[in-house]
Amino acid sequence: MQNHPDLFADTEQPRRSEQIGEQSWVLRGFALSRVEQLLPALESIIERAPLRHMMTPGGFSMSVATSSCGALGWITDRSGYRYSAEDPLSHLPWPEMPAVFRELAQAAALQAGFHDFRPDSCLINRYVPGAKMSLHQDKDESTYTAPIVSLSLGLPAIFLFGGFNRSDRSQRVSLLHGDMVIWGGVDRLRYHGVLPIKHGRHPQLGEQRFNLTFRTAG
Ligand code: MD3
Ligand code: FE
């Protein structure tokens, strides 16, 4: 007879961790136990720093809507992409990074062996069905020695994890509500993207997917 609850009973999925690159890991469901704290914190940030469709320097509006919290936020303008200490919509500093965000990102980084991850930026991406992100590298941060930690919430996505040249073959990884991914070291500059989000409705988030990326930008 069991004197403790079965951790993986019925619908509960075991928490698996997958290595997808030399220094890249997917932590399945890592954020699930924190969702009740994460969602109200996210809502409060986007009330103060609303999601907006940024214009690429080439003059195209992105299908993903973005905002940020933390000391630095990622912006685009006519001169290009960069991190800024102020929200160009309000001319105010970005909302502070909530402790629950920072602690979760640090705990995930630690699981992947990154011991002193200190994110100063959290980029918030919101996808609705059909929104996508083309293959790109993340090169706007001042240092590439720190990893990037991502948190997926809401509708599922197919993430493309490529190589060091745009034309290198990419692997497809599905990312579900509560999954976290850590990219660092030799994998930090790999090309990556997100296929168009499929139609669907998430019980907590409705017809949307949020991806939060924690970065050391400055
Ligand atoms: C892989 N966001 O905001 S997770 C981005 O799901 C971005 O919204 C995607 O790419 C999303 O720049 C993908 C983030 C990610 C970030 C950095 C990486 C994946 C990475 C660096 C190397 C390889
Ligand atoms: Fe990226």
Closest CA relative to residue 46, chosen from 28, 27, 73, 26 = 73
- What average pLDDT does this structure show over 102-124? 97
Ligand 2 centroid distance, CA of 138 (Å): 5
Q: Torsions phi, psi of 40, nearest 5? A: -65, -35
pLDDT above 50: residue 3: no
CA-CA distance, 47 to 114, in Å (whole number)? Answer: 32
Residues with Cβ within 8 Å of 60's Cβ and at least 6 positions away in sequence, in order, are none
pTM for the full predicted model:
0.93
Tell whether ligand 1 has an atom less than 6 A from the beta carbon of residue 215: no
> Is residue 150 within 6 Å of ligand 1 at its C-beta?
yes
Residues in contact with 176: Cβ distance below 8 Å, sequence separation at least 6, in sequence order? 28, 29, 152, 156
Q: What is the pLDDT of residues 126-173, one digit of tens each?
A: 999 999 999 999 999 999 999 999 999 999 999 999 999 999 999 999
- Check pocket membership of 188 for ligand 1, CB cut-off 6 A: yes
Distance CA 2, CA 6 (A): 8
What local confidence, expressed as pLDDT, does residue 58 receive?
Answer: 85
Quick one: which ligand is closest to 170's CA?
1
- Does the CA dihedral 108-110-112-116 come out positive or negative? positive
- Phi, psi at 199, each rounded to 5°: -60, 145
CB proximity list for 214: less than 8 A, separation 6 or greater: 101, 102, 105, 117, 119, 121, 122, 148, 149, 150, 151
pLDDT tens, residue by residue, 160-181: 999 999 999 999 999 999 999 9
Written as one letter, the residue type at 33 is: S
Q: Is 51 exposed, middle or buried (0-12, 13-18, 19+ CB in 10 A)?
A: middle
Residue of the CA atom closest to atom 1 of ligand 1: 192
Domains of the chain as residue ranges with CATH: 17-215 (2.60.120.590)
Ligand with smallest separation from the Cα of 156: 1
CA-nearest residue, atom 11 of ligand 1: 211
